[in-house]
Amino acid sequence: MLATLQELGVMPTFSRPSVSNDNPYSESLFRTLKYRSEYPEKAFENLSTARTWVQYFVHWYNHEHLHSAIKFVTPEQRHNGEDQEILSQRKCVYQQAKLRHPERWSGEIRNWDKVDEVLLNPEK
């Protein structure tokens, strides 16, 4: 298999044992892809069908999926600079809710400050 991959110009990567940061972003993306309810149970019928499904997934992932690592905004909102206003509005909603019903809160409101850097498996 290694020889075939090399003939095709594919350079395989080998994860090192107990090292979780070799390719965490691609693994995280692939997990999200696999767990979509639309993920096919069987192989795609042809390349065109596969491409169509992946195009749909990429659109959903970038324009609809709320990413927890960037405070539940979409990548599109983040890249367009819309996230700051969204997060500011959320902070106001939480502050007002806490003022109206302080008995529901045991501590501070959720932190809705913009995340500057996203890390998977950050060092402790």
- 93 residue type, one letter: V
Q: Model confidence at 1, in pLDDT bands (50, 70, 90)? A: confident
What does the pLDDT read at residue 16? Answer: 60
Name the residue among 71, 38, 43 with its Cα closest to residue 55. Answer: 38
**H and E: helices and strands count for the chain:** 5, 0
Q: Model confidence at 21, in pLDDT bands (50, 70, 90)? A: low
* CA pair distance 61, 48, nearest whole angstrom: 20
Q: Is the pLDDT higher at 24 or at 62? A: 62
Q: Is the pLDDT of residue 15 over 70?
A: no
Q: Is the pLDDT of residue 11 over 80?
A: no
Tens of pLDDT, residues 88-119? 999 999 999 999 999 999 999 999 999 998 87
- 46 residue type, one letter: N
Q: Is the pTM of this model over 0.75?
A: no
Tens of pLDDT, residues 28-86? 888 999 999 999 999 999 999 999 999 999 999 999 999 999 999 999 999 999 999 99
Q: What are phi and psi of 54, to 5 degrees?
A: -65, -40
Packed helices 24-34 and 47-63: angle between N→C axes, nearest 10 degrees: 110
